[in-house]
Amino acid sequence: MDALPRAAPRPHLPAGALGLGALLVLAYGIVPLTGTSYLFEALLTPFLALALAGLGLNLLTGYAGLLSLGSAAFMAVGAYAAFNLSLRLPGLPLPASLLLAGFVAALAGLAAGLPALRLRGFYLAVSTLAVQFFVAWALNRIGWISDDSPSGVITAPRLVVAGLSFDDPRGRYLVSLTVVTLLTLVAWRLVSSPTGRNLVAIRDNETAARLVGVKVARTKLLAFAASSFVIGIAGALWAFAYLRTVEPAGFNLDRSFQILFIVIIGGLGTLRGAFLGAGFIVVLPLLLARLGAALLGDGFDSGTLEMVQRIVLGALIVALLIREPAGLAALLDRAGRRLGRRAA
Amino acid sequence: MPLTTRLRAALLAGTVMLAAAAPRAGWADEQYFPLQSYRVGPYAAGGTGFFGGFIDYLNLINARDGGVNGVKLTWSEGETQYEVERGVEVYERLKSRPGIAAWNPLSVGIAYAMIDRITADRVPLVTINHGRTDSTDGRVFPYVFPLLLNPYSETSGIIQYLGTRAGGLDKLKGKTIAVLYHGSPYGKETIPIYAQLAERYGFTVAQIEVPHPGNEQQSQWLTIRRLRPDFVVLRGWGVMNPVALKTAQKTGFPADRIVGNVWSNSEEDVIPAGDAAKGYVAITTQASGTAYPVIQEVVGKVYGAGNGNLADRKRIGSVYHNLGVLNGILNVEAVRIAQGKFGARTLTGDEVRWGFEHLRLDEARVAALGAKGLFHSINVTCANHEGEGRVTFQQWDGAKWTVVSDWIAPDWASLRPIIEASATAYAKEHGLTPRDCAAEEAADAAGKQAAAAAR
Amino acid sequence: MSPDLAFLIEVVVGGLLSGVMYALVAIGFVLIYKTSGVLNFAQGAMVLFAALTFVSLTERGLPFPAALAATLAAMGVVGLAVERTVLRPLVNQPPITLFMATLGVAYVIEGAAQLAWGTQVHGLDLGIDDTPIDLGGVLVSRFDLFAAATAGLMVALLSAFFRYTRTGLAFRAVADDPLAALNTGLRLPRIWSAVWIAAGIVALVAGLLWGARLGVQFSLSLVVLKALPVLVLGGFDSIAGAIVAGLIVGAVEKVSEVYLGPVIGGGIEGWIAYVAALGFLLVRPSGLFGLRAVERV
């Protein structure tokens, strides 16, 4: 922390700093000791990767107010960049290749952000679809990106940091957790810096922001780059730590929507929102499925169950948006305030 | 703190439920099949047919024979919607159950993501008619079985068939073949093989990509129209298939000169195309229809007892249903063969793997299983996990598929070096030492002799 | 006419006719966006629901007109229900929240459609032969012509509705200026209901035409992806724009796939339409018809 330049006045720690500390102790201390392989492999690792992607998109959509439907493409860029970096530069340590992959994704984000200088709203959103489909096409079309593998599906390299192998469920979880923690910290510094306030100013009123001297074009591009950087690393985690294969199909439009869901459900413009939203989107369907299976028995038609679950999930999303359009973060805040009042 | 308490209670309940995937302890003599099925989403029609057929056959074995030598077959399903991450979740959820025989995902993406996992967990992974081509080399992929047909053999089989249509493989010289492929890793996989075969037999090949999902193909078919090929090979997927047939009709290309691959060969691919599909030909490893004794038994003993898995009985004997039944036969026979060596009890994944590696069903055995004509034969060895599956071709007449060719043997010998080169590269990349199959087979034979001598 | 020129004409004509099919889907979006500012992503699910309901009813022995009427009624109910339970409570929320809500609605509709009618693939035969007619060396599909005629008829009916009926006039008033319309005593919810029903009918028409081509199955809901670049180019709020942009997008897509595809690699259709629409907007940000007001998320 101290190595970071202190150009910005150090922001106050949020009131929940204690809770945050407790959460970190839980995540680093208790979970790794008590968790099962299912918990790591099927719940926590994808949760962390998607939460990180949500965090990245929140920088763009939540803070800067720019809507993007191309998040999965940036995840793909990050994943494939990390793969190629570790393939072609064999000595490169994993943290470095993740970081560089983030920068490659940031470059892609810059390019994708150019239309944002002229377009807004849904026009911008649909223009990011161009990125989504172009990247999918390029990954499929250009052979060297997937090392000329005939099937186009490549196996991710093993997770080794500083000679230590993290190639087991717990290790993969810890690597993801560390990456997510560090990037969350960086994102928190960013949004509480003057740049972060500029982002919000553009979101709230672009003309006014311009009047008070915010460099609108530069800030918008910065938002795209920073957001894609984070999303790219999330993509690398998704591929390396979770699926352990890299293929274009997993980074499709549905994934982009999923990430947008995470941000909206969790709460736009809050860092917590991404985690809450990811919890909702990743864990809730599994809980619903287990609940259904538990109620109806093992032999029940899994297809029917899935469709009921889809209906319930859709209805829950709508209900949540009606009840609290500002997302789960706001819902929790309100609950917290109510608790505080009652305690007082 | 009512809310947090409630939240915590909910979370706790959730964890308990998630942990409820725990084994039902103490049931001896059961062999369990975890099924990563897909009954919703874009590929649901294939999933319901295939997993329906698989379950129907397992039911038949339990009902008719009381299991395999008294070992009851069990299964449960997890919905994947054909999505890789859901497949992985189901794998992680079900992998701790006891007595797992084999995994059968019927999805290329899920299969790829499972290779490392099942190899570490030492359970076989069956990818019938699909999967990773170089996993045919069992020396490098001991636990993966792309049974009957890998993508390369499929390509070779299709060209062999087109050779017979042209009046001999040598007559392909100077002909033009267009390959219309799905814009995905799956679609692209056979590009080099078609190019290679074109060079060998002297035909011209044009490989044309259809972007996913393939619901608009006007430009591709106009390109084909300009090209005037002798045949079009359809390497499609899902909705791309009926649209291809419809657009072919629209641009005046006759359906009987279009040949589909294994993912373009089902009723679901042709019915939506209506009349445009009449005369269309597709490759298959298993005939369709209900004329085979084993399918008749499924109808009588499973559906007759009200235990059938398909919601619509009309789909019994459809391509995917019969593929599911065939997949059931291969899995069950692998278990039976392994029981012959290890005893009639719940086997470990490693033991079932041995069974798959000795899955040799000649035509006589296939007939004894009631599947004569349903499929030809299989001959899996340590080095060859595909098992020399024969292919045949079926033509759609507007209402049903009719077989229109003999059982054709793909040119495995010429494909083998490509497969071995790819597998060797994989082994090197992953620091694996390929198994010595000759030595293992010798050891097996010696063990058998010793057992015979002891008797 | 040289064969090359004939081929070019064929490609362009084929593209224009495909474009009509894209416009058909796009019009459903426009109707709703125009009145309530919602990019209704459930439009694809509605297309699927409509086609699946219709085909399931006919398969159960209902005659064509009865099935059509029943499906129309079902679409009306769906449109009303969405308007009542989702949009009305969310009124005055930012567009992105509404957009997300329609995605939730899409889940519900897709799930319900498949739960009610199953996940099987159905063929849909409208009785129109899809064989080509030869017009001076250029092949034109009969079905495409029929689809174009249907689309034309639908647009004509919609225009007549907006021009000559009370609800239609109110609709235009709301589209032009919701606040002013409200002040003159127009009842917004009623208009929204009418618009959602209209969008349901458009979804049915699109579902039948697309379903006859693709078969009625889950992938039908993916046709919206073909409509989105059309919307960007033509504007989210202009029916005429949707038609013209649909034609342009269709032609550009086919011409570039056929002539550009071999140069930079085939399969570019998936994104070329988006890039073309985007390029056009960057040059002319006000879009094809220059009606667009500045908007934000």
B229 close to B258: Cβ distance less than 8 angstroms: no
pLDDT value of position B1: 39
Q: pLDDT digits over B248-295, tens only?
A: 998 889 999 999 999 999 999 999 999 999 999 999 999 999 999 999
Interface test with C, best of A322, A323, A324 (most C CBs within 10 A): A322
| Predicted confidence (pLDDT) at residue C293 exceeds the cutoff of 80 | no
Q: What is the pLDDT of residues B191-218, one digit of tens each?
A: 999 999 999 999 999 999 998 888 889 9
Facing residue for A140 by CB, picked from B48, B109, B185: B185
Closest Cα to residue A82, out of A224, A229, A240, A227? Answer: A240
Using pLDDT thresholds of 50, 70 and 90, give the confidence band for residue C183: confident
The two beta strands, A154-155 and A245-246, are antiparallel
Confidence (pLDDT) at A8: 36
Q: Nearest by CB to C7, from B226, B250, B268: name it.
A: B226
The answer to whether residue C1 scores a pLDDT higher than 70 is no
Contact B42 C218 (CB under 8 A): yes
Which of A:34-93 have CB within 8 Å of C?
61, 65-67
Chain A CB contacts of C115 below 8 Å: 304, 307-308, 311
Task: Provide DSSP, C244-270.
Answer: HHHHHHHHHHHHIIIIIHHHH-S-THH
* Cβ neighbours of B50 in C, within 8 Å: none
User: C 232-251 residues with CB below 8 A of A?
Assistant: 232, 236
3 state DSSP class of B414: helix
Report the distance separating Cα B364 and Cα B362, nearest Å.
5
Higher-pLDDT residue of C151, C296: C151
Question: Residue A300's pLDDT is what?
Answer: 65
Is the separation of the CB atoms in B310 and B52 below 8 Å? Answer: yes
The chain-wide mean pLDDT, for chain A, equals: 86
Nearest to B56 by CA among B290, B238, B340, B260: B290
| Most confident among B237-246, B321-330, C200-209 (mean pLDDT) | B321-330
Q: Do C106 and A120 touch (CB under 8 A)?
A: no
> Which pLDDT band holds residue B13 (cuts at 50, 70, 90)?
very low
CA nearest neighbour of C118 among C217, C214, C44, C209: C217
pLDDT, residue A17, reads 74
Query: What percentage of chain A exceeds 70 in pLDDT?
Result: 94
A1: confidence class by pLDDT, cuts 50, 70, 90: very low
| Subunit contact B40:A307, Cβ cutoff 8 A | yes
Q: What angle do CA B105, B108, B112 make, to 5 degrees?
A: 90
Of A336 and A103, the one with more pLDDT: A103
Tell me how far apart the alpha carbons of residues B409 and B389 are, in angstroms, rounded to a whole number: 7
Nearest chain A CA: its distance from C148 CA (Å): 26
ipTM, 2 dp: 0.88
Q: What confidence tier does B20 reach under pLDDT thresholds 50, 70, 90? A: very low
Contact B169, B201 (CB under 8 A): yes
Q: Is the pLDDT of residue B26 over 70?
A: no
Predicted pLDDT at A121: 81
| Among B106-110, B281-285, B428-432, C20-24, the range of highest mean pLDDT | B281-285
Is the pLDDT higher at B79 or at B328? B328
No. of helices (H) and no. of strands (E), chain A: 16, 4
Q: Which of A188-202, A324-338, C90-104: highest mean pLDDT?
A: A188-202
Higher pLDDT, C34 or C244: C244
Contact A230/A102 with Cβ under 8 angstroms? yes
| Res B17: pLDDT | 44
Report the chain B residue with the minimal C-alpha distance to residue C142: B250
Of the candidates B117, B34, B137, the one whose C-alpha atom is nearest the C-alpha of residue B386 is: B137
- Which residue's entry shows tokens 């500029």? A198
Q: CA B110, C219, C26, C206: dihedral to nearest 10 degrees?
A: 180
Residue A23 included in any domain: no
pTM of the model: 0.89
pLDDT of residue A11: 43
Q: Angle formed by the axes of helices B240-250 and C188-214, to 10°?
A: 70
Average pLDDT over residues A66-95: 92
The minimal CB distance from C96 to the residues A67, A118, A309 is found for: A67
3-class secondary structure, A154: strand
Cβ neighbours of residue C33 closer than 8 Å, sequence gap 6 or more: C39, C40, C236, C237
Contact at CB, C123 and B271, closer than 8 angstroms: yes
Residues from chain B that touch C226, judged by Cβ atoms under 8 A, are: 215-216
Alpha-carbon distances of C97 from A273, B331, C102, C190, C297, rounded to whole Å: 15, 50, 9, 22, 9
DSSP B452: H
Contact call for C281 and A127, based on CB within 8 A: yes
d(CA A321, CA A262): 12
Cα pseudo-dihedral A284, A63, A113, A239, rounded to 10: -30
Tell me: pLDDT of A241 over 80: yes
Q: Is residue A29 part of a domain?
A: no
Instruction: Indicate which of B88, B94, B95 best probes the interface with A, i.e. most A CBs within 10 Å of its own CB.
Output: B88
pLDDT band at C295; cut points 50, 70, 90: very low
- Tell me which of 3.40.50.2300, 1.10.3720.10, 2.60.120.10, 2.60.60.20 is the CATH number of domain B29-149+289-379+418-447: 3.40.50.2300
User: How many CB atoms neighbour CB B360 within 10 A?
Assistant: 15
**Higher confidence at residue B421 or residue B449?**
B421
* Residues of chain C contacting residue A60, judged by C-beta atoms under 8 Å apart: none
Confidence of residue C290 (pLDDT cuts 50, 70, 90): low
pLDDT above 80 (res B38): yes
Residue B224 scores a pLDDT above 80: yes
What average pLDDT does this structure show over C76-89?
88
Q: Which residue of C has its CA nearest to A143?
A: C265
B209: β partners:
B181
Which residues in C lie closer than 8 A to residue A325 (C-beta atoms)? 90, 93-94, 97
Q: Which position has the token pair 């038994």? A: B297
For residues A162 and A168, what is the distance between their CA atoms, to the nearest angstrom?
A: 16
Report whether pLDDT(B22) > 50. no
Contact C124 B41 (CB under 8 A): no
Q: Where are the alpha helices (DSSP H) in A238-327?
A: 253-266, 271-278, 284-296, 302-323
Residue C228 CB neighbour total at 10 angstroms: 27
Chain A residues with beta carbon closer than 8 angstroms to that of C294: 120
8 Å CB contact between B105 and B36: yes
Q: Tokens standing for A194?
A: 């003057």
Q: What is the DSSP letter of C87?
A: I
The rounded mean pLDDT for chain B is 90
Q: How far is A4 from chain C (nearest CA, A)?
A: 34
What are the tokens at A99? 């970081």
The alpha-carbon gap from A193 to the nearest alpha carbon of chain B, in Å, equals: 33
HSE of B181, CA atoms in CB hemisphere, 13 A: 23
**Residue A40, in any domain of the structure:** yes
The residue written with tokens 């989504």 in the block is A132
CATH class of B152-284+393-408: alpha beta
Q: Are B349 and B124 in contact (CB under 8 A)?
A: yes
- The encoded tokens of residue B164 equal 């017979």
Q: How far apart are CA A62 and CA A272, in angstroms?
A: 12
Q: How confident is the model at residue A298 (pLDDT cuts 50, 70, 90)?
A: low
Q: How many helices (H) and strands (E) does chain C have?
A: 12, 2
User: Are C208 and C54 spatial neighbours (Cβ–Cβ below 8 Å)?
Assistant: yes
Confidence category of residue C46, pLDDT binned at 50, 70, 90? very high
Residue A27 lies in a domain: no
Q: What angle do CA C279, C283, C289 make, to 5 degrees?
A: 95
Residue given tokens 């510094």 in the structure block: A189
Q: Which domains does chain C have, with CATH numbers?
A: 3-283 (1.10.3470)
Q: Name the residue of chain A whose CA is nearest to C292's CA.
A: A123
Asked if A194 is an interface residue toward chain C (Cβ–Cβ < 8 A), one would say: no
pLDDT at C60 over 80: yes
Cis preceding-peptide flag for B213 (omega within 30 of 0)? yes
Q: How far apart are CA A34 and CA A301, in angstroms?
A: 33
Paired strand residues for B235:
B181
What's residue B454's pLDDT? Answer: 72
Q: Which domain holds residue A239?
A: 36-343
Span of A64-73, B65-74, B229-238, C185-194 with lowest mean pLDDT: C185-194
Inter-chain CB proximity A314 and C225 less than 8 Å: no
Query: From its phi and psi, is residue C204 left (phi > 0), alpha (psi between -120 and 50) or beta?
Result: alpha
Is the CB of A298 less than 8 angstroms away from the CB of B79?
no
Mean pLDDT of A150-178: 85
Average pLDDT over residues A154-176: 87
Q: How far apart are CA C34 and CA C38, in angstroms?
A: 8
Residue among C13, C56, C120 with most chain B CBs within 10 A, to mutate? C120
SS3 of residue B372 by DSSP? strand
Contact, C80 vs C197, CB < 8 A?
Answer: yes
For residue B74, the cross-strand partners are B32
**Sign (positive/negative) of CA torsion B297, B301, B306, B309?**
negative
Give me the pLDDT at residue A153, please. Answer: 77
What HEC string does B143-188 produce? CEECCCCCHHHHHHHHHHHHHHHHCCHHHHCCCEEEEEEECCHHHH
Residue contact B88–A242, C-beta within 8 A: yes
**To which residue do tokens 């679609």 refer?**
B187
Asked if pLDDT for residue B455 goes beyond 50, the answer is yes
Please check whether residue A100 lies inside any domain of the structure. Answer: yes
Looking at the 3D structure of chain A, how many domains does it have? 1
What's the pLDDT at B232?
A: 97
CA distances from C47 to A91, A255, C128, C204, C217 (A): 53, 22, 20, 6, 11
The confidence score (pLDDT) of residue A343 equals 66
Of B10-14, B296-300, B420-424, C94-98, the one with minimum mean pLDDT is B10-14
Mean pLDDT of B318-343: 96
Contact B319, B266 (CB under 8 A): yes
**Cβ contact B215–C10 (<8 Å):** no
**DSSP-assigned beta bridge partners for residue B281:** B259, B395
CA distance B389 to B404: 18
Question: Which chain A residues are Cβ-neighbours of C105 within 8 angstroms?
Answer: 314, 318
Taking alpha carbons only, the member of A79, C216, A141, A112 closest to residue B212 is A141
Token pair listed for C172:
């235009």
What residue of A is the nearest CA neighbor of C100? A261
Does residue A24 lie in a domain region? Answer: no
What stretch(es) of chain B map to CATH 3.40.50.2300? Answer: 29-149+289-379+418-447, 152-284+393-408
Three-state DSSP at B91 gives helix
Closest-approach residue (CA) in chain B for C143: B250
Question: At residue A28, does pLDDT exceed 80?
Answer: yes
Q: What is the CA radius of gyration of chain B?
A: 23
> Which residue on chain A is closest to B183 by alpha carbon?
A140
What's the pLDDT band for B15 if we cut at 50, 70, 90? very low
pLDDT tens per residue across span B126-154 = 999 988 899 999 999 999 999 999 999 99
State which amino acid sits at residue A195: T
Which DSSP symbol is given to A63?
Answer: I
CATH at residue A69:
1.10.3470
Distances in whole angstroms, Cα of residue C33 to Cα of each of A77, B455, C175 = 33, 83, 9
pLDDT of residue A47 exceeding 50: yes
